[in-house]
Structures are given as C-alpha cells and as structure tokens.
Amino acid sequence: MPIVLYDLAGADPALRFSPYCWRTRMALAHKGLAVETLPWRFTDKDAIAFSGQGRVPVLRDGETVVSDSWDIACYLEAHYPERGSLFGGVVGQAHARLVNAWADATMIGGIARLVVRDILDVVDPKDVAYFRASREQRFDATLEAVQADGRANRVAAFRDSLTPARLVLRAQPWLGGAAPSYADHILFGTLQWPRCVSRFELLAADDPVAAWQQRALDLYGGLGRSAVRV
Amino acid sequence: MPIVLYDLAGADPALRFSPYCWRTRMALAHKGLAVETLPWRFTDKDAIAFSGQGRVPVLRDGETVVSDSWDIACYLEAHYPERGSLFGGVVGQAHARLVNAWADATMIGGIARLVVRDILDVVDPKDVAYFRASREQRFDATLEAVQADGRANRVAAFRDSLTPARLVLRAQPWLGGAAPSYADHILFGTLQWPRCVSRFELLAADDPVAAWQQRALDLYGGLGRSAVRV
C-alpha cells in the first residue's frame, strides 16, 4: 500500500501550493519513497478528520497517520532510517528544528503579505469565501490592501529576512552542507508556495538564495521544477 | 603548551564581553580543553596582527592560529574529534551555520541598540574614543540616542526576533536537542554579551529563552554564571 499524502490543491487539482506539503513532498523524494498525493482543499475538513486535526499535510503510511510537516519528517527519518538521512543524526535533527521555526516565524508571514491576494485567484471556488474571511481576519485588512502594501513597502524587508540563509549559501552549496538535507526542503517548500501561486518575483536575480533555488528545483528528477504554476 | 585565547576585555581586565569570544569559551569548555585567556582591547590591533586580521576571538593552539568564532569551532571539532562533539556530525555542523548566521544577522544588531551606551562605560579608557566613533558611524546617531530609541521602541521587536529559538526551546531542552551543542553556545554567547555589560533586562521573566539561559549559565561548572558583570 503506497504512502498517501493529503496535499493542498487549488481549483486546478494539479496546482499544489502548501509550503508545508512541499516540505513533505521533498522529504519523501529525498527518502526515495513513492507517494500518492490526494488533492485537498481548505474546507475539506471532513476528509482529514481521521487525523484528529484540520490541516495538511496529513500522511497515511499503512496504519500510521501523521500530520504536521515537522512531525512527518521526524516520522520518515525514524521509520525509514536505512534510506538517505534527512537530518544526519540527532543533533542535525535538533538544529533543523530551529531552521523550521525560523522559516515559520520569519518567512511565512513575509511571503503571505506579498502574494495573499494572488492566492485567492487559484483556490477552489468552494474555498474562496473561507480563504478571504480567515486571512482578512488574520491581517485585519482586505487581501487587496495587504498585498498592495506588501509589494509597495515590504519587499526589501522580506529579502533582508533571508540574510541567514544567504550567508550560509555563500559558504556552502546546501543548507545541509555538501548535499541537501531537510533544512533545504524547509526553505525550498516555503519558497515553492509563492512560486506556484504567483508570478511575483520574491528574490533578486543575483541573490544566492535564487541560485540555490534553481539547483533545488532540479532535485529528485525535477520534482519542484515540474510543479504546475499559475 | 595550553591553548591561548585573545578575549575582549573592559577597563576591568576580568570583564569579558564579546559575544563571539563567549561562543569560543563555551566551545572550549564543551570540549574540556584548558585555555589561557588574554585580555584584549579593541585598539590592541598590534597584539593580534600575527592572526592576519584585527578582531577577536583569536585562538592559538601550538603552531596553529585561528580567528573568527565559527572557524574556531570548526577547528576544535576537526582537531579534537575524540572529545564531546560540538555539532554531532557534518549535517549538524552545516545546520549550525544557519544558527550562527541567524544570531549574527538578527540578534547582534538588535542587542546593540539596547546596550551600546552601557558598553561605553565598561570599555578600557584607551578604547573609549574608538568605540564611540566607530559605533556612532555604524548607527549614524549618538550612542545615547541609539540606546534611548532602542529601549523606548525596540524591545518588543528584539524579543520577537527570538521567536525561532523560543519555539524550539518549548519542544526540546537545548537547541542541540537532549544536550547542548554549539548551537546553544552561539545563542548563549550572544546573550552573555549584554548580560556582562549591562543590567538591562533583555528577556521577559517568563520567556522560555530566559529559562534556557539559566540552565546554560550552569554548564561547565558555572562558566557563564561566574563571569564578571558590570
């Protein structure tokens, strides 16, 4: 029985755009594990009720159900230790948790402010009202105002927020060192989200992060590069 | 011949307050390596000219000279592999580089704005003019104005910038996982700097980072806790 992943999709079921699901997709590919991805929309709460919570990614591996991209990565590492390591050991795993927290605390909000109105154009019709209401409540502003303000005033600050990754990628090819690790998948998945839902250029062309992203798009047979984009 | 470390000191030679030297002090203690620390002041450029650059930490181990706290940590790990590991392997080391870059890019500037005027009161008399001029040029404002603005307007933002560490420390006791790693020494050293030069309370009392700092102060026989403070 293949591993099954509930994967956030747009109106186009081939458009997959969750930063967290992309982290899991890359982790699965890193491990060389086949996966059947099921398109899931924000309002499909019933479809993943068996996981005990309401967000994707949700992974089902035989009798095991795991949600939350970090917990899924830890599950894959523990359950498939003979395959390529995501973390390179327990300390590498502990350190990757800070990379994960950094991406979540710093990047997710910064990116949302630059593309959140574009997302509305790709979500499934049944998700439109939910998406607008929930995000406008979060930002206390209309999606149009958030994105306009973001692009007018917050691009430089977002790019600055990537300085830690930029400094690392000037010194080594991957966040994982000589080869990609789950730290790379965290950053890659986070950037794959805006790449799939928007044509807005988040990164300057000469940014080392952009050069790294191009390399990462080619990993695992071009898994990221072949993704459907808006 | 013991390892020698050139260590930033104030007018009181026992007051050691470089965030980078503290990272190295903790790394040496982690490895169980004895060290002779030599008090060094900002303007003692000649004393470390043999290192080919003008900043501390500078470590001399027999014939080997290494400067820059990150390079020193990597040297210690490579040269003393049989002692407790700082990184837990090459991937852990690669990931720690992002922790290092995050602390440098995010924390150093944020802390400086909260304590930079206090530092002026502890530096050696021969460093006073240099310190004021170089830092006022960097901030394009007087030290008094920078610190007053910081304490009035930037405390919350600084605390917010620690969110990644806070999220990690809610889930595990050390950034290194079950035991301290060099990632902990990076964060600890960075916070030891303001702790030694100022009585300003950077962290809220109920911050998980503050609880972690208390544990870290007790490491290695209380190396951090026994440090001279202003």
Q: DSSP letter string over B162-219? A: THHHHHHHHHSSBTTBSS--HHHHHHHHHHHHHHHH-----S-TT-HHHHHHHHHHTH
DSSP per-residue letters across A14-76: T-B--HHHHHHHHHHHHTT--EEEEEE-TT-TGGGGGGTSS-S-EEEETTEEEESHHHHHHHH
Percent of chain B having pLDDT more than 70?
100
Question: B165 vs A93: CB contact, 8 Å cut-off?
Answer: no
Would you say the ipTM is above 0.95?
yes
Question: Mind telling me how many Å the CA of A9 is from chain B's nearest CA?
Answer: 28
Question: Mind telling me how many Å the CA of B9 is from chain A's nearest CA?
Answer: 28
- Find where tokens 């930037």 sit: B154
* Number of DSSP helices (H) and strands (E) in chain A, helices first: 11, 4
Q: Would you tell me how many other CB atoms lie within 10 Å of the CB of residue B94?
A: 27
* Per-residue model confidence as pLDDT tens digits over B125-157: 999 999 999 999 999 999 999 999 999 999 999
SS3 A205: coil
Question: B165 vs A87: CB contact, 8 Å cut-off?
Answer: no
B172 CB neighbours in chain A (<8 A) are 94, 97
SS3 A203: coil
Mean pLDDT value across residues B99-123: 98
CA distance A58 to A35: 12
- pLDDT band, residue A1 (cuts 50/70/90): confident
First to last CA, chain B: 32
Tell me: pLDDT of A43 over 90: yes
Of B94, B167, B181, the CB nearest to A177: B94
* Per-residue model confidence as pLDDT tens digits over B207-219: 999 999 999 999 9
Question: A95 vs B95: CB contact, 8 Å cut-off?
Answer: yes
Mutate which: A68, A95, A159, vs B, most B CBs within 10 A: A95
Task: Tell me which residues of chain A have a C-beta less than 8 Å from any C-beta of chain B.
Answer: 85, 87-99, 101-102, 104-106, 163-165, 167-168, 171-172, 174-178, 181, 183
Question: A97 vs B172: CB contact, 8 Å cut-off?
Answer: yes
pLDDT of residue A225: 98
Is the model's pTM score more than 0.95? Answer: yes
CA–CA distance from B89 to each of A176, A184, B77, B84 (Å)? 11, 17, 9, 11
Of B93, B94, B168, the CB nearest to A98: B168
Tell me: pLDDT of A140 over 90: yes
Residue pairs between chains A and B whose CB atoms are closer than 8 Å: 120
Question: B183 vs A95: CB contact, 8 Å cut-off?
Answer: yes
CA B138 to chain centre: 20
CA distance B187 to A210: 28
pLDDT of residue B16: 98
Helix (H) or strand (E) holding B108, with range, is none
Question: Mind telling me how many Å the CA of B192 is from chain A's nearest CA?
Answer: 20
Question: Mind telling me how many Å the CA of B32 is from chain A's nearest CA?
Answer: 19
* Per-residue model confidence as pLDDT tens digits over A66-121: 999 999 999 999 999 999 999 999 999 999 999 999 999 999 999 999 999 999 99
Of B104, B171, B177, the CB nearest to A91: B177
A163 CB neighbours in chain B (<8 A) are 101, 105-106
Of B96, B168, B178, the CB nearest to A101: B168
Question: A176 vs B105: CB contact, 8 Å cut-off?
Answer: no
